[in-house]
Amino acid sequence: MYRLMAEETSDAVCRKLGVQARSETSRRPLPGNESDPVPPAELAARCGIPALAAMKLQTRHGSNAEKVLDEGSTSRILCRCEPVTEAELVYAARHEQVRTLADAFRRVGIAGGPCAGAACILRASEVIGRELGWSASQRFDAAREFVHGAWLGREPVLGHAGWAQEELAQGAMRGLTGGAR
């Protein structure tokens, strides 16, 4: 999706500037897609992760999926609803400029599943914070900031049923973060 948007944008800029060039983006493999990845079931068995986690990992990292898992200290799953491994967060912090939990959400999808972070954001903050040298209070503040930012992003589009679900999620997060919004 992002590659298509980038291609369309660059083509529009070229037209506007009168440049006779077309984007090469769609014909160039992204890093990790230069070769065929190991089948997800094989990766899952080899690394001791669920098959869905292996498939998602390959979707995000292509043939680099094993390298990502090798880099981290553990392949422990941080969230069951959007299977992101601890190793993947470690890799993202070390090699992909992930500096905030919002960066991690955009890069690996942490907190992108049905739990919206209730089941994983504190653990994700611990992992990223450990890699980036955050103190315990910085880790907690990062989690709280992420939750608040996510709420601001959802608030304008919630319908009636969405508000009820959001209140439930916000209540759970207030319980996890000591009552702060």
At residue 82, the pLDDT reads 87
What's the CA angle centered on 52, arms 50 and 57, to 5 degrees? 95
Q: How many domains does one find in the chain?
A: 2
Those residues whose C-beta lies under 8 Å from the C-beta of residue 132, and which sit 6 or more positions away, are: 93, 99
Q: Is residue 65 part of a domain?
A: no
Residue 117, domain extent: 100-181
Q: What is the pTM of this model?
A: 0.74
Residue 176 maps to a domain: yes
Residue 48 forms part of a structural domain: no
pLDDT in tens, the chain (181 residues): 567 788 888 888 889 999 988 777 767 766 767 667 788 899 999 889 999 999 999 888 888 888 899 876 788 999 888 899 999 999 999 999 999 999 999 999 998 888 888 889 999 999 999 999 999 999 999 998 998 887 776 777 777 777 777 777 777 777 766 665 5
CA distances from 63 to 30, 70, 166, 173 (A): 10, 13, 37, 36
Under DSSP, is residue 5 helix (H, G, I), strand (E, B) or coil?
helix
